Copies of this chain bind each other. A is one copy, B any other.
Amino acid sequence: MNFNMKEAIEVLERTPQSLDYFLSGLSNGWLQCHEGEGTWNVSEVIEHLIEGEKNNWIPRLELILKEGESASFPPFNRYAHIEAKTERPIEQSLFEFKEIRFQNIKKLKDLIDPEWHLELTGTHPAFGVVKVKELISAWVVHDLTHIAQIVRVMSERYRADVGPWKEYLGILKK
């Protein structure tokens, strides 16, 4: 096991600013491309990250602290941002993501004392009993998985353009 709070927060606090640098001002070609019907474009991934900040990680931590295993987390709708169909400039979404993540890291530090709370348990609707430290670890890896998705979606756009280099570019293997 490698988890510790300080290092987890290092990643959580870097993700929004890094994505802001990478994505702000990009042409629509990059922001609107996707991997086929029913898959997300870059803008939709950012909306999903915001949705997680609002309704997933911190609300679940609060529920564990309040109710322990007795109340199952409300299920998280991974398609809520698609159903809401927010269409706005990505710079606005990135700004919201930065703001809400900043607030949520403050809440995380207020809520969780790593000396006392990491082993506390709650009930996940699909997994059953889960620990606070598993939930925070998943929050970190959730950031990383969606960064990977963003660059994979963008790469797909140049699949034909790279010609024979496809063979050397792992991200195009699937």
Contact = CB atoms under 8 A, between A and B. Distances in A.
A2 B22 contact: no
Contact of A171 (B2, B14, B144, B155): B144
A92 interface: no
Contacts of A19: 18
A18 to B, nearest CB: 4
Which bracket fits the contact residues of A? 35 or more
Chain copies in the assembled complex: 2
A98 to B, nearest CB: 12
A78 B7 CA distance: 30
A82 interface: no
Interface stretch (A25-33, A65-73, A105-113): A25-33
Interface of A: 1-3, 6-7, 10-11, 14-15, 17-19, 21-22, 25-27, 29-30, 33, 124, 127-128, 130-131, 133-135, 137-138, 140-142, 144-145, 147-149, 151-152, 154-155, 157-158, 160-165, 167-172
